[in-house]
Amino acid sequence: MMYGVTPPERQFDLRLPDGRVFAWSEWGPQDGCPVVFCTGAAMSGALGFGADRLGALDVRLIVPDRPGLGRSDPHPEKTLDSWVADVQCLLHTTRLQKVRVVGFSQGAPFALALAGADLVGAAALVSPQDDLRHPALTPLLLPDVADMVNAIATDPDGFEAAFASFATAEGLWNLILGMSGERDRLVYLDSTFHAAYRQTLDEGFVRGARPYARDLVNALGSWPYQPEEMCVPVDLWFGGQDTSTVHSPDFGVILAKRLPHAKRFLDVNEGGSILWTRAHEILERLLAHAP
Residue 4 included in any domain: no
In a domain, 5, yes or no: no
The pLDDT of residue 281 is above 80: yes
Residue 168 domain flag = yes
Averaged pLDDT, 64-72: 97
The mean pLDDT of 117-137, rounded to a whole number, is 97
User: Is the whole model's pTM more than 0.85, yes or no?
Assistant: yes
Residues 213-237, mean pLDDT to the nearest whole number: 95
Q: By percentage, how much of the chain surpasses pLDDT 70?
A: 99
CATH number of the domain that residue 90 is part of = 3.40.50.1820
List strand residue ranges (DSSP E) for the chain, in order: 10-15, 21-27, 33-38, 59-64, 100-104, 123-126, 234-239, 262-267
In a domain, 126, yes or no: yes
Domain annotation covers residue 264: yes
What value does the mean pLDDT take over residues 44-65? 97
Averaged pLDDT, 210-239: 96
- Examine residue 135 and state whether it is found in any structural domain, yes or no: yes
For residue 285, count other CB atoms closer than 10 A to its CB: 17
In a domain, 2, yes or no: no
Query: For 138-151, how does the pLDDT look when each residue is reduced to its tens digit (9 = 90+)?
Result: 999 999 999 999 99
**Roughly how many angstroms between the first and final C-alpha of the chain, as a whole number?**
33
Answer yes or no: is 3 within a domain: no
The structural domain count of the chain equals 1
Q: Are 271 and 183 in contact (CB under 8 A)?
A: yes
* Structural domain boundaries, residue 67: 10-288
| Signed CA dihedral, 95, 101, 104, 110: sign only | positive
**What does the pLDDT average to over 73-94?**
96
